[in-house]
Structure 1
Amino acid sequence: MLSLLSRTRRHMLAAPLALSIGLSAAGAFAAAPASPSALRIGFQKSASLLTLQKAQGTLEKRLQPLGVAVQWVEFPAGPQLLEGLNVGAIDVGFVGEAPPIFAQAAGANFVYIGNDPAAPEAEALVVQKDSPIKSVAELKGKKVALNKGSNVHYLLVKALEKAGLKYTDIQPVFLPPADARAAFERGAVDAWVIWDPFLAAVEKQSNARILADGKGLVSDYNFYLAERGYAQKYPKVIAALFEDTQAQGRWLKTHLDEAALLIAPLQGLDVEVVKLSLHRYQFNVQPVTPAIAAEQQLIADSFYNLKLIPKPIRIVDALPGAASATRVATER
C-alpha cells in the first residue's frame, strides 16, 4: 500500500504530465485500455541514465503493478532511433536536439514529453593532439566527421558561424560514432564533432584537443519523445517513466562513482571516461517549457535555411496537446 506522501507525490508528477499531453483537451481516448502490454524504449548505450535504468531493472519494478513489461531496443544514434519511432518499432526514445527536427521534417508523428537540462560542455569539436589546426577558423576546406542529423550537427553550424565560416566552407563526412573515431584516429578526417561519452573517451584515451565545445554556442538539450497516440492513451505509463528517470537521476548524481562503476562495463568504456562524461550532465528530466521549444525552433529554422531539411517546420506542432488543440479549434 502506497503511503499518503507517495500517492501525493505520484499525483503531483502525473498531473502536469497529463496536462502536457493534452488529455484535458479531448476525451477521444477514454475507451482505451488503462495500460498497454509493454513500453518499448529506444535507447543508445551512450545515454548513461537509461543504460543504468536498464541494468538495474528499476522501471520494470515500477511498471509491474500496471501489468506493463519493458522492452529495451538499442540504436547506434538518435537519427536511427527516431526512424524506429516513426515506423512503430518503439514507443518512446531519448535523443539530442537535432534528430527530432529531422524526423519532424520527414513526417514522424511524435510529441516532446520532456527534456534534460542544458549540457553545452557534453559535446565538442575536436582535433588530434598534434594537429596543426589551432582554431575553428582553420577548418576551412577541411574534412569534419559527424553523425548526420545528430545533436552535434547544430554545434558545428554555430561554431563555424562564430569563426566567420559557412557550413559550405568545410567538407562534412557523415559517419556514426564508432566509424568516425576510427577515421579520426587514422587521420582520414581533420576534425570530429562528437558528444559524450564518446567525447570523454577520445579526450582520455587519445588526448584529443578541443577546439570548441557548446559553451556560449548551443544549449545541448536532450529530449524524451513519445509516439503521439501512445502518450495520449497511456499517461500513467509516461508518468511512471518520468518518476523512475527522476529518481534514478537523483541517485546517480549523489552516487557518481558507484554509478560509473555500474555503467562503464555496459558502455565498454573505462570508469574514468564514464566519470568525466557523467559530470557534464544533470540527469533531471522536466517538461518542455515554451522557452526550450523556442530554442528548438531556432535550430529548425537554421537547418531549413541551410537546406539540411526539405521544408520549414513548427516545433509547436510536435508539442503535447498540439493535435487536440487543432482539432478543438477546427470543430468550433
Structure 2
Amino acid sequence: MSRVPQGPSRRLLLAGALAAVSAAVTGCSSDSAASSSGGAKRLRIGYFAFPSGDLLVKNRKLLEKALPDYDISWIKFDSGASVNQAFIGKSLDIAALGSSPFARGVSGSSPIPYKVAWILDVAGENESLVARKATGITDVAGLKGKKIATPFASTSHYSLLAALEAAGLAASDVQLIDLQPQPILAAWQRGDVDAAYVWLPTLDELRKTGIQLTSSKEIGAAGKPTLDLAVVSDDLIARDPKAIDAWRKAEAEALRLLKSDPEGAVKAVAAELNISAADAEAQLSQGVFLTPEQVVSADWLGTDDKPGKLLTYVTDTGRFLAEQKQIDAAPSQDVVRKAFYLEGLADVVK
C-alpha cells in the first residue's frame, strides 16, 4: 500500500464489531442486557498486555477487593481499534485506550459512547520505530519507498505519521502495512517489512535485529505526545458512577505502588505477562508513569472545573489525523471536552 487509507467508517466498524470482539468478549456480553439494566453488578474491563498500573490492579485484585459484590471480567485486547469496536458493540464498561484511537472515536457525527476518565501512562521508549539492521537504514528519512508495519488507528500509527512528517516524508512516500503486534514480528522475521512502529513486548523482539530510529518519547517532546488513557462507557457513567470512583481509586493505588514498591510492581507485571522479572523491570523502565496527583493536575487530565492539557493534546491529535486524511474531520475542542468524564476525579487523591 503506497497510501494510508482513511479510517474505516463508523458503519464498517459497527459491522465488524462482533467479529473483532471475538470469543472472550462474546462470552461476557451474552447477558449484557442484565448488566445495563442496573440490576446486575458487573464490570467488563478491557486491558492490554502492556506494562501499566492496569496490570497491578488486575494482578493484586485491587478492584475485586474494593467491589466484592461485583462480577468483574478482564478482557485482553491487542489494539485500540478493537477496543473501539467493542465499545460500539456495547461489550465493554471500562478499557485502556490510546490517545490516538480515542481521538478517532470521538470524531464524526456518531461518536463512540464513552469518555476518558483516567491516564494510565505516557508513551516513552516503550513505543518506537525500528528498522531491520539488514536494510542499512539509519534514520527516518531513509525509509522513503520502504515497507513499514504498524497497527492502524493506534498510537504507534499516529506517532509514525508524525515521525515521517518531521523527516519531510508523506505517508504516500512509504508503503504502510496494517498489522497487529504478533503478525508484525512474524513479518519482520520473514523479511517482509523493512521497519515497524510498535510497542512492548513485540518492540523488544524487533530491537534484537533492528536499529531504533525514533521513539514516542522523542516525538512527544517535539509536541505530539501520545498516552494510554482509560475510558468508561456512557452507560456505566449513567448507571454506576460509584463503581467508576472505586476503579479510579484502584488505579491511583497502582500508580503509587509503581513508585513505592517497584519490586512488587515488577513481580506483578512479570506474572501477568509471563516474562522474567528482569524483562518486566526493563519494560517498566521504558514507560512514563504519572503520580495520581499529576493525573489530576492542570498539566494532564485536570479536574471537572478545570480540564488539563490533555484536552489540547487530544484536540491536536484529531486535527493532525484529519490533516493526514485518517479521519474525515477533526473534532472540535468542545466535542473533545464533552468526551471527558472528570466528575469526582479530584476526590481520588484526597
* Structure 2 residue runs without a partner (length 5+): 1-35, 302-306, 342-350
The partner residue of 1:294 within 298, 303, 312 is: 312
1:128: how far off? 2.2
Say whether 1:73 aligns with 2:75: yes
Return 97-106 or 175-184, whichever deviates more. 97-106
Q: Which residue of 1 aligns with 2:104?
A: 102
* Structure 1 residue runs without a partner (length 5+): 1-31, 324-332
Contact 1:125 1:212 in 2 (8 A): yes
| Amino acid in the other structure paired with 2:97 | V
Can you list the C-alpha shifts for 1:188-239, whole angstroms capped at 9, x where unaligned?
1000001233323433xx2432100121343221111111131243221111
1:88: how far off? 0.8
Distance 2:242 2:92 in 1: 17
Distance 2:280 2:333 in 1: 33
1:303: how far off? 0.9
Contact 1:140 1:169 in 2 (8 A): yes
Structure 2 vs 1, CA of residues 202 and 272 (structure 1 numbering), >3 Å: closer, same or farther? farther
Return 90-99 or 69-78, whichever deviates more. 69-78
- Percent identity over the alignment is 24
Say whether 1:52 aligns with 2:77: no
1:125: how far off? 0.3
Contact 2:315 2:336 in 1 (8 A): no
Can you list the C-alpha shifts for 1:3-60, whole angstroms capped at 9, x where unaligned?
xxxxxxxxxxxxxxxxxxxxxxxxxxxxx99885112111111254222322221110
Q: Which residue of 1 aligns with 2:86?
A: 84
Q: Which residue of 2 aligns with 1:326?
A: none
Q: Secondary structure at the match of 1:309?
A: coil
Say whether 1:282 aligns with 2:289: yes
1:321: how far off? 7.4
Say whether 1:179 aligns with 2:189: no
| Amino acid in the other structure paired with 1:262 | A
The partner residue of 2:245 within 229, 233, 239 is: 239
Contact 1:127 1:209 in 2 (8 A): yes
Q: Secondary structure at the match of 1:281?
A: coil
Say whether 1:194 aligns with 2:198: yes
Say whether 1:136 aligns with 2:140: yes
Distance 1:243 1:207 in 2: 41
1:322: how far off? 7.4
Distance 1:120 1:188 in 2: 27
1:315: how far off? 5.0
Contact 1:85 1:92 in 2 (8 A): no
| Amino acid in the other structure paired with 1:231 | I
Q: TM-score, normalised by structure 2?
A: 0.75
Q: How many residues of Structure 1 are paired with residues of Structure 2 in the alignment?
A: 288
Can you list the C-alpha shifts for 1:230-269, whole angstroms capped at 9, x where unaligned?
1243221111111111112211233323322332243243
Q: Which residue of 2 aligns with 1:304?
A: 322
| Amino acid in the other structure paired with 1:59 | L
Distance 1:310 1:138 in 2: 30
Contact 1:35 1:237 in 2 (8 A): no
